[in-house]
Amino acid sequence: MYAGVTASSSASPPPARRVGVTPAVELMVLATAVGVAIASYFTLRGEGDPGRLLAPPLVAFLLVANLVTGIALMMLLGRRIALSRAARSPVGAGGRLHVRLVLLFSLVAAVPALLVTIFASLLFQYGVQFWYSDRARGMFENAASIAQESYNKEQDRIANETVTMAGDLASYLRDNAIDSKRFTEGLFYQLYLRNLSEALVVQRGADGELRTLALVNPYDRPLDRVVTTDMTQRLDKGERAVVIPSRDRVGALTTLDYQPHTYLYSARVFDQQLEAQINRGGAVLADYRQLIARARALQLRFNAALLIVSLLIVGVAVWIALTVADRLVRPVGELVDAARRVEGGDFSARVPETLERDEIGTLSNAFNSMTARLVAQNSALDNRRALIEAVMSGVSAGVISIGAEDRTIRLINSSAQQLMGLAEPPVGRALHDVAPELDALLDQPGREATVQIAVQGEMRTFAVRIARDGSGPIITFDDITQQLTDQRRAAWADVARRIAHEIKNPLTPIQLAAERLQRRYGSKIDPADTTFARLTDTIVRQVGDLRRMVDEFSSFARMPKPVFREESLVDIARQTMFLHEVAHPGIRFALDHDDPAPSLVCDRRQLGQALTNIVKNAVEAVEEADASEGSITMTLSESDGRVTIAVADTGIGLPLERDRIVEPYMTTRARGTGLGLAIVKKIVEEHFGTMTFADRPGGGTIVTLSFDTAPLAALASDDHSPSQDDDRTIAALTRNRI
């Protein structure tokens, strides 16, 4: 099927013609397999009653047809793989050994698998068919039909009895009122006479509501929901009676000749034996039908499993054939490949040594001896390369040699690899793929530059120097990230010293003036007006906070260490807004928050200081805008484990250098110190938060503080401090102001 047979003799007859497998033959086999599969699907889908088993000969025939075409298709696929492997092998020879082994192993596995599959399929199907017959199914269906017929007759009887009872009750109502004792006795008598269990007389009013006129309910069941308006409308259209079946009883509704839209309902509770018989008959029939459906599905699944297992067996046989062929051809292929590598200049090429002392083993050992001699001749070049690498590895700066044409990395020292966070030397890779920032510097004319590169998720700053020669540029760089950090820390120390110098001196006169105001004018102001007391207390407290902050700045040249406790953001925000609302009555202040209001684990004093600085900047921006009416709105919200504080103003908006407004001493105002937002940023960072700036729609600025509550919750402390108690007192006084 796959290869022809050639023969020769002493007379040298002409070679026999080989019968080849063309792509047309492969397509024909594939089309046949697909056609057989589609025909089998439609045959099984349209074959017989779904409640019956399929004919065993038909299923076995379809199984064999699909199995034969599937095996042929897998053999052709194995032939294709064998030819592709032979084409990749250095030996070549058209892959005849691979193809012959695939054919042999496929036939050895396919014939037994086909016979066993046919025998197993027929044996299983006839065994299943023995347990399911038309006689058994008819018996179950007859039993269920008898039970259902009894149920239907009971429904007809109750409907007829209800209609007859309606006529008798109408005659009672001609002589007696519906609420009379005689009518009630007659209703009980009718129920007893007709073997009924309950009754109900209802009337539909003009508004469509149903009202009960008479009731017999020994089972204490809510009968007012049994009769519906739709049922009465059906009776008005001419129906004789409406049957109302339920799980444990059968009822009927009919018209009562008493007053317009008057109806009679009666029902009979099932005997437990009748109910059990109906349920048992239906359940047995349903179980039997479900069992037949499962048996049919099991029949198809079993034969499908046989088909899949048989194809897997043939597939494993083809795989084994390919593996055996590879092992036979591999030694020769390795020798051919190694020889070609030596031809290309790779003198380190070797072939695996074998324990067999045959011709292949002898040739392999001779080849390895030859390549070893060639390697010895190139040791001088290796020594020179090792010397260069040793010199570069001793340099603390990073050094990278780049190719002049393709900008690939030719050489990199260990320092550069460590500074860039590379696990392996990227020799041979393009510089753009390893460090696009360095690659961009090669397009610039300068020889020195500073660049930031993300190394393992952390931004580092490198001082880069570029040397160019004929062989390509050489990049050297040092990590100056820590140096810049130290410079920023020195700037913060200078900020602390300026704060201590500029603020500490006026604190004592301010505090003494506020205390003197309290002593001299506190008793002269109406006790009902607490504004004066609150404002002077606030001045004294804020002066104390400033004094403590300045003392700590002077001692440690850094921000005070925060004390984290769970605080109400609404109280902190109200206190901040109140202070500025009193000082700037021409600006409208608003505070919006979720309900319930969010809380946050924070340092109350530091967070209040941050909000005060932000609102102070917003007030100054509104005043500079010179608008007729300005507003500042603070919004508190909590979502997905983050608490957000947004301050929006209608001021002049953000400056052009908005990226530098949080740096120390960066200010756009004549009298500003440039420390407010820098301190706010420091406080927000110590609270595991972020601060962003955005333009407000319609003009103005929105400053957003976002805090992650999870790490803050772990820092919660139970310590109390006097300043925090004072903050809560002021928050309580200002709670109703905003």
Please name which of 606, 609, 579, 577 lies closest in space to residue 593, comparing C-alpha atoms. 577
Q: Are strands 242-245 and 249-255 parallel, antiparallel or unpaired?
A: antiparallel
Amino acid identity for residue 193 in this structure: L
Amino acid identity for residue 310 in this structure: S
pLDDT average, residue stretch 389-408: 77
Q: Are strands 587-593 and 630-639 parallel, antiparallel or unpaired?
A: parallel
Whether residue 500 has pLDDT greater than 90: no
The pLDDT assigned to 589 comes to 92
Whether residue 445 has pLDDT greater than 90: no
DSSP helix/strand/coil, 704: strand
Give the integer Cα–Cα distance in Å for 387 and 108: 62
Please name which of 610, 636, 619, 497 lies closest in space to residue 545, comparing C-alpha atoms. 610
Determine what percent of the chain is predicted with pLDDT higher than 70: 74
Give the integer Cα–Cα distance in Å for 231 and 244: 9
Phi, psi of 650 (to 5 degrees): -105, 35
Greater pLDDT, 457 or 598: 598
Whether residue 100 has pLDDT greater than 80: no
Give the integer Cα–Cα distance in Å for 77 and 202: 80
Greater pLDDT, 18 or 214: 214
Mean pLDDT of the chain: 77
Find tokens 């209800």 and name the residue. Answer: 162
Q: At what angle do helices 722-733 and 569-583 cross, to 10 degrees?
A: 70
pLDDT band at residue 80 under the 50/70/90 scheme:
confident
Give the integer Cα–Cα distance in Å for 403 and 414: 19
The pLDDT assigned to 315 comes to 82
Whether residue 733 has pLDDT greater than 50: no
The pLDDT assigned to 394 comes to 63
Whether residue 531 has pLDDT greater than 50: yes
pLDDT average, residue stretch 238-250: 83
**Token duo for residue 610:** 């941050």
Highest mean pLDDT among 146-150, 350-354, 713-717: 713-717
Give the integer Cα–Cα distance in Å for 171 and 165: 10
pLDDT average, residue stretch 323-345: 75
What is the distance in angstroms between the CA of the first residue and the CA of the last residue of the chain?
Answer: 95
> How many residues are recorded in the chain?
738
The pLDDT assigned to 736 comes to 45
- DSSP label at 561? P
Kindly tell me the sign of the dihedral angle through the C-alpha atoms of 371, 373, 377, 380.
positive
Whether residue 711 has pLDDT greater than 70: yes
Find tokens 């067999």 and name the residue. Answer: 356
Find tokens 């499962």 and name the residue. Answer: 294
Please name which of 698, 568, 683 lies closest in space to residue 633, comparing C-alpha atoms. 698
Give the integer Cα–Cα distance in Å for 397 and 415: 6
For the stretch 644-701, pLDDT in tens is: 999 999 998 888 766 667 766 566 665 555 567 777 888 888 888 999 999 899 889 9
Name the H helices within 344-471: 359-377, 379-393, 414-419, 431-434, 436-441
Whether residue 120 has pLDDT greater than 50: yes
Q: Are strands 630-639 and 642-649 parallel, antiparallel or unpaired?
A: antiparallel
Greater pLDDT, 660 or 281: 660
Greater pLDDT, 720 or 172: 172
Residue partners of 378: CB distance under 8 A and separation at least 6 = 347
**Token duo for residue 105:** 């192993």
**Torsion angle (degrees, nearest 10) of CA 88, 92, 95, 98:** -70
Give the integer Cα–Cα distance in Å for 681 and 495: 14
Determine what percent of the chain is predicted with pLDDT higher than 90: 7
- Of 58-62, 314-318, 350-354, the range with the lowest mean pLDDT is 350-354
pLDDT average, residue stretch 68-88: 80
Q: What angle do CA 347, 351, 355 make, to 5 degrees?
A: 145
**Token duo for residue 196:** 């009924």
pLDDT band at residue 4 under the 50/70/90 scheme:
very low
The pLDDT assigned to 615 comes to 92
Whether residue 13 has pLDDT greater than 50: no
The pLDDT assigned to 226 comes to 85
pLDDT average, residue stretch 559-563: 73
**Token duo for residue 416:** 């550069």
The pLDDT assigned to 645 comes to 94
Displacement of CA 560 from its chain's centroid (Å): 42
pLDDT band at residue 707 under the 50/70/90 scheme:
very high
The pLDDT assigned to 289 comes to 63
Whether residue 191 has pLDDT greater than 60: yes
Find tokens 């001609």 and name the residue. Answer: 174
Give the integer Cα–Cα distance in Å for 248 and 268: 9
Residue partners of 459: CB distance under 8 A and separation at least 6 = 452, 453, 481
Whether residue 151 has pLDDT greater than 90: no
Helix (H) / strand (E) containing 550 = helix 531-556
- Of 17-31, 213-227, 696-710, the range with the lowest mean pLDDT is 17-31
The pLDDT assigned to 1 comes to 37
Whether residue 170 has pLDDT greater than 70: yes
DSSP helix/strand/coil, 477: strand
